[in-house]
């Protein structure tokens, strides 16, 4: 092997990095991603009982992040307040971070779909009481697996 080939072989691979302050623009995705992301998130949450019982706390953290971001971008927020927001950033573990990434992406896609009138009305035999019970179970840290399956079975698309 020549000296040039040895140098080339020992060189580290390069890879792409991204500035997290940048925004990707002009992306188009199929609405099938909405259902797929919902399924992935549901599977992540329900695959482990210990995770399912803490999901209420996880979504409370997500809400805190959204509120902090809204305050941070508010033109009335002072630099001192922005510093305080950054100091008190909600910490997520790996699982929470993964779910937050998928959930926030899902919300962005749903928002754009709604803007473009791509939503289809879904008829359901689920009641407001069913939804209230599911929410209370999540907030109390109880397992929601069977309740989610029950609600899924009550859905049908109306054309």
Return the closest-CA partner of residue 122 out of 88, 80, 154, 78: 154
User: What pLDDT is attached to residue 8?
Assistant: 66
CB–CB of 56/139 below 8 Å? yes
Instruction: Give the tens place of pLDDT for each residue, 114-158.
Output: 999 998 887 777 778 887 887 788 777 777 777 777 877 777 655
Q: Please say if the pLDDT value at position 57 is more than 80.
A: yes
CB–CB of 159/120 below 8 Å? yes
Provide the 3-class DSSP secondary structure of residue 155: strand
Q: With cut-offs at 50, 70 and 90, classify the pLDDT of residue 1.
A: low
Q: Where are the domains of the chain?
A: 29-117
Q: With cut-offs at 50, 70 and 90, classify the pLDDT of residue 51.
A: confident
pTM comes to: 0.68
Instruction: Give the tens place of pLDDT for each residue, 85-121.
Output: 999 999 999 999 999 999 999 999 999 999 999 988 8
Instruction: Give the tens place of pLDDT for each residue, 35-48.
Output: 999 999 988 988 88
Cα gap 21→60, rounded to integer Å: 24
CB–CB of 85/71 below 8 Å? yes
Structure tokens at 118: 């791509």
Backbone φ/ψ region at 117: left (φ over 0), alpha (ψ -120 to 50), beta:
left
Please report, in angstroms and rounded to a whole number, the separation of the first and last CA atoms in the chain.
68
Cα gap 57→104, rounded to integer Å: 16
Q: With cut-offs at 50, 70 and 90, classify the pLDDT of residue 7.
A: low
User: What pLDDT is attached to residue 71?
Assistant: 93
User: What pLDDT is attached to residue 46?
Assistant: 82
Structure tokens at 90: 């909600």
């Amino acid at each position: 092997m020549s000296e040039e080939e040895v140098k080339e072989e020992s060189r580290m691979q390069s890879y792409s990095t991204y500035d997290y302050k940048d925004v990707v623009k002009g992306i188009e995705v199929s609405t099938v991603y909405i259902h797929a992301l919902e399924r992935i998130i549901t599977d992540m949450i329900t695959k482990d009982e210990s995770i399912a019982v803490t999901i209420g706390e996880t979504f409370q953290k997500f809400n805190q992040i959204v509120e902090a971001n809204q305050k941070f971008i508010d033109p009335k927020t002072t630099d001192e307040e922005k510093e305080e927001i950054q100091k008190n950033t909600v910490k997520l573990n790996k699982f929470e971070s993964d779910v937050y990434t998928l959930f926030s992406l899902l919300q962005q896609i749903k928002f754009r779909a709604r803007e473009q009138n791509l939503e289809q009305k879904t008829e359901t035999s689920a009641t407001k009481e069913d939804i209230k019970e599911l929410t209370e179970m999540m907030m109390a840290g109880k397992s929601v697996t069977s309740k989610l399956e029950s609600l899924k079975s009550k859905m049908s698309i109306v054309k």
